Amino acid sequence: MMNKLLSTSIKDVSQKIYSGAVRPSEICEASIKLTSIVKPLNAYITVTSDVAEEQANAADNRQRQNSLLGQLDGIPIAIKDNYCVKGKPTTCASRMLANFSPGYDATVYEKLRAQGAVLIGKTNLDEFAMGSGTVDSFYGPTRNLWGSEVLSQFYSYKSDKDSQITTRESVHEKDTWHIAGGSSGGSAVAVATGTCYAALGSDTGGSTRNPASYCGLIGLKPTYGLISRYGLIPLLNSMDVPGIFTRTVDDAVLILNAIAGPDQADSTTIQKEYVPIHLSETIDISNLRIGIPKEYGVEGISEEIQECWNDVSHLLEEAGANVVPVSLPHTDYSIVCYSVLNRCDVASNLACYDGIEYGHRADEWNSADELYKKTRSEGFNGVVKSRILVGNYFLLAENYEEYYMKAMKVRRLITQDFDILWNNNIDLLLTPTTLTEAPRYNEFIQLDNQTQCLIQDHCTQPANMAGLPALNVPIKLSRGGLPLSLQLMAPLFHEHRLFTLAKWIEQIVQFPKLKLKDSCLLK
């Protein structure tokens, strides 16, 4: 039974807990064991088994006393390792913070813990969340479950199109595994494998939706300011948002309802009461007007992604939705604008890691200047150092107007593009999330980090630029047996509308769900 429970939804396992059919400690024990089985995928930097067991035992006590805290009580979750958890390593996947354990909890974790969620571990990421593959981590890359030997050994799934799938399990050459996407790839793989039911990532340019796309998951980037960023180590302050990974739309709603709302510790949160979202099982989309932006059909989009996009558009039309072509003319400038703003914030936010204030300290005693240089040289990888240097260049007095101020003006134009559509009664946008299925690692690293980010973030980043809510929905498997996904975007604070259409699509397409084989936890 435990194998089946680890493969199901929060709603279903919560019912089992409430009925007394299973104890939270039993689920926790199975989840921790499963982290060992899927360890070759490198989803976790730290498995917090001691914390998990303590929290699960507390949930057991509440279960016995009929005082459970809600649907998240006793539910295993994971958190990206750029969120602070008191007394536990928070590394940002960097040598710079390898020995850092914060003295406080991030607000999002505090809220999940208050509802009884069980922390299984801290997940892997690109160093300081700078990447789109989870391949640039001090702790090594994260591998995608899909297309891996771990999938074929421990999981099964059924798809109506199984006969079209060409298995790739026979490929055993070095570095031919598929990337998980990034920068929140560890969180995505943690959920996909069933080691937890939900995970938090962060999303600055697509870092939740991108790995959700490649791993076949629901991936939510909420409206900027809807969820507190307190305790999230920043990348780009004006675009960072906590992201949510789950296997179903309903589960994503549960997590959002648990963590959204104002926070006095974060002045960027919207200071009004959050109204929980509730979705109907019966959904009518005939009143929706859905835009298809032509700028997202760029060169490099795969035939299968384009076909997927077309097919879902037709399904929406058949259901009565008004599907119309639209234009977002400044989309092509968005990723360049983002690159400038990203590097400026990186240079500013990482200035405190100098060997004196925070982080790794080099063994250097000649001078403060030498200590500073050696510490930062040792503590940061090449990607981070490059972004710092470029950001400092953009922020020089003689370059500030040419780069930073011009990028801010372009950002306003990008935001205005979206506003025009919403004002013209477009309810939602449907686009690709990524341009292809998950690339192989050996192909992905042929291009440098910056170039890959320009490609991988093309469809996702504009939503961050405008602060909009956006969500990845898995649609089907490719002919190679890998997830293909699409993205929905909505106006500010219209998460309910976003989830409603996503749930309709989820019900129609019936993306295949992974199930643990019966013998998995016996090994």
Which residues are identified as catalytic?
Answer: 80, 183, 207
Instruction: Return the axis-axis angle of helices 107-114 and 249-259, rounded to nearest 10°.
Output: 110
Using alpha carbons only, give the angle 390, 206, 123 rounded to the nearest 5 degrees: 95
Reference 85, options 122, 117, 115; nearest CA is: 122
Report how far residue 490's alpha carbon sits from residue 473's, in angstroms, rounded to the nearest whole number.
Answer: 14
DSSP annotation of 219 reads E
Q: Which helix (H) or strand (E) holds 187?
A: helix 185-193
The CA–CA distances, whole Å, from 89 to 34, 203, 318, 321, 452 equal 21, 21, 51, 48, 29
Give me the helices (H) in 65-141, please. 107-114
Report how far residue 125's alpha carbon sits from residue 129's, in angstroms, rounded to the nearest whole number.
Answer: 6
Report how far residue 430's alpha carbon sits from residue 293's, in angstroms, rounded to the nearest whole number.
Answer: 8
Tokens of 41: 């995928």
The rounded radius of gyration (Å) of the Cα atoms in the chain is 22
Say how far residue 145 (Cα) sits from the centre of its chain: 15
The CA–CA distances, whole Å, from 224 to 117, 251, 261, 368 equal 24, 20, 11, 39
**Residues, the chain:** 523
Q: Is the dihedral of CA 318, 320, 325, 329 positive or negative?
A: negative
Q: Return the number of other C-beta atoms located less than 10 Å from residue 318's C-beta.
A: 10
Give SS3 for 255: helix
Give SS3 for 332: helix
User: With b meaning 16 or more CB within 10 Å and e meaning fewer, what string describes 195-208?
Assistant: bbbbbbbbbbbbbb
Q: Which DSSP string corresponds to 415-428? A: HHHHHHHHHTT--E
Reference 140, options 49, 214, 43, 47; nearest CA is: 43
The CA–CA distances, whole Å, from 199 to 45, 156, 352, 390 equal 14, 22, 28, 32
Q: Which amino acid is at 366?
A: N
- Our CA dihedral for 299, 479, 212, 385, rounded to 10 degrees, sits at -50
Count how many Cα atoms sit within 13 Å of the Cα of residue 400 in the half-sphere of its side chain: 4
Tokens of 399: 């370059």
